[in-house]
Amino acid sequence: MLQVSYIVENKEKVIAGLQKRNIPQVQDILNEVIILDEKRRNTQLTLDQNLAEANTIAKQIGALMKEGKRAEAEGIKQRTSELKATNKQLSEELEATKQSLLKALYNIPNVPHDSVPLGNSEEDNEEVSRHGNLPALGDHAMPHWDLIKKYDIIDFELGIKITGAGFPVYKGKGARLQRALINFFLDEATSAGYGEVQPPIVVNEASGYGTGQLPDKEGQMYHIGNENLYLIPTAEVPITNLYRDVIVDQNDLPIKHVGFTPCFRREAGSWGAHVRGLNRLHQFDKVEIVQVRKPEESYQALEEMCSHVEGLLKKLQLPYRILRLCAGDLGFTSVLTFDFEVYSAAQKKWLEVSSVSNFETYQANRLKLRFKGPDKKTQLLHTLNGSALALPRILAAILENNQDETGIVIPEVLRPYTGFDRI
């Protein structure tokens, strides 16, 4: 969430930024925050003063009791019971104000970067660059949902039987190819300096709030009611939350992690004809990279991460394009996001396979993720993450783009991992 001090000091910039996101009544929302914060401070001040007085009296009573002056002690107890009543009221008021303030802040998204283009939907995203040649497939070309049946490598019906729609079963060479992609992505990230972690794929409420999935995306996560836990929608959640409530030693920066996890998304309300096959699933595999950086380095880190993702796509020899997300399509917590899309030749459309974002201090503020600067003061760090990569659409593109009359050609770099060169 945004810091109140930042809102106060950069009000015009914040208003302009949030207006880019088409948020109605931005001024009113920000004013409410500022008023609540003032109220919080005033209430705190009065309460602190009362508490100071109560503390003083308590000490006096202690001293009097020791001297055996009981009667005198009883006398000043009067004042404390008055204070007690007021203080109870004040602290309830303070708590309520803090809660309202927090709630208001939770509902304000991050301020987009200056370079974020205007726009309402994915139609308005800016294409930054395009790489690789689009394959020309013959008339015999099949979309991946037919290919997986033909070669019996993924079974949706079986998944429906044991779980439900959107939970595919990978079989034989299909399963092996999944494992190959995961290992390839993990190895690439490890050689690029990312420390591998294997986090839990179930997280508590505090973690959900830490990275901003809660309360914004409450309905999009699977919830385990009897334990009040959530299935992760992305490894971003557990990995970034590793650093919740942490003051990082300067020497431990930068922090770079990679992790493979399954991801779970309810995708409520987003199903339709365009989400056939592997295009959209409830459970999918993803390798995620996460960085925690000093503020002045975070945009350099964003570039590094984008280059890493590009490197993967180049090695897989997939045609791809890079998009700068417009304000309307930008995630709630993000300042700047680049999407990577691969071309799916038989569907003749671009599929998003990675999203690389800088959150600046937005998550860190919720996480209380800080470091001690040279001036010995604690300050918030910047967090970033990106998919490197999400598997299903990569798989879809490989299947479609690399098909020929007799099968599917496995990209060179994956062969050491698959142990076969064709399906």
Partner RNA sequence: AGAGGAGUGGCAGAGUGGUCGAAUGCGGCAGUCUUGAAAACUGUUGUACCGCGAGGUACCGGGGGUUCGAAUCCCUCCUCCUCUGCCA
Looking at this protein, which amino acid is placed at residue 135?
Answer: P
Residue 378 CB, nearest distance to RNA (Å)?
4
Residue 98 CB, nearest distance to RNA (Å)?
10
Site for RNA in 62-121 (CB under 7 A): 62, 65, 77, 80-81, 84
Q: Select from 60-68, 122-130, 338-346, 382-390 the region that touches RNA (CB under 7 A).
A: 60-68
Site for RNA in 281-340 (CB under 7 A): none
Site for RNA in 165-204 (CB under 7 A): none
Q: Is 43 one of the binding residues for RNA (CB under 7 A)?
A: no
Residue 227 has a CB neighbour count (10 Å cut-off) of 9
Residue 106 CB, nearest distance to RNA (Å)?
17
SS3 assignment for 339-407: EEEEEECCCCEEEEEEEEEEEECHHHHHHCCEEECCCCCEEECEEEEEEEEEHHHHHHHHHHHCEECCE
Q: Select from 50-58, 191-199, 285-293, 387-395 the region that touches RNA (CB under 7 A).
A: 50-58
Q: HSE-up of 268 (CA within 13 Å, CB side)?
A: 6
Question: Of 182, 198, 29, nearest to 104 (Cα)?
Answer: 29
244 Cβ neighbours under 8 A, 6+ residues apart: 206, 207, 210, 367, 368, 369
d(CA 251, CA 143): 50
- Nearer to RNA by Cβ, of 141 and 203: the residue is 203
Q: Is 134 one of the binding residues for RNA (CB under 7 A)?
A: no
> For the chain, what's the residue count?
423
Q: Select from 18-26, 55-63, 124-132, 176-184 the region that touches RNA (CB under 7 A).
A: 55-63
Joined tokens for residue 291: 């960085």
Q: Is 351 one of the binding residues for RNA (CB under 7 A)?
A: no
Q: Is 44 one of the binding residues for RNA (CB under 7 A)?
A: yes
Residue 41 CB, nearest distance to RNA (Å)?
4
Q: Which residue has the tokens 């003063």?
A: 49
Which of 52, 128, 206, 275 binds RNA (CB under 7 A)? It is 52
The pairing of beta strand 229-231 with beta strand 223-224: antiparallel
Joined tokens for residue 373: 């600067």
Joined tokens for residue 351: 């599929």
Site for RNA in 223-262 (CB under 7 A): 247
Q: Is 10 one of the binding residues for RNA (CB under 7 A)?
A: no
Site for RNA in 361-400 (CB under 7 A): 370, 372, 378
Q: How far is CA 66 from CA 63, 72, 205, in A?
A: 5, 12, 49
> What crossing angle do the helices spanning 173-191 and 391-401 adopt, rounded to 10°?
120
Q: Is 47 one of the binding residues for RNA (CB under 7 A)?
A: yes
- Nearer to RNA by Cβ, of 77 and 314: the residue is 77
Contact residues toward RNA (CB under 7 A) are 41, 44-45, 47-49, 51-52, 54-59, 61-62, 65, 77, 80-81, 84, 247, 370, 372, 378
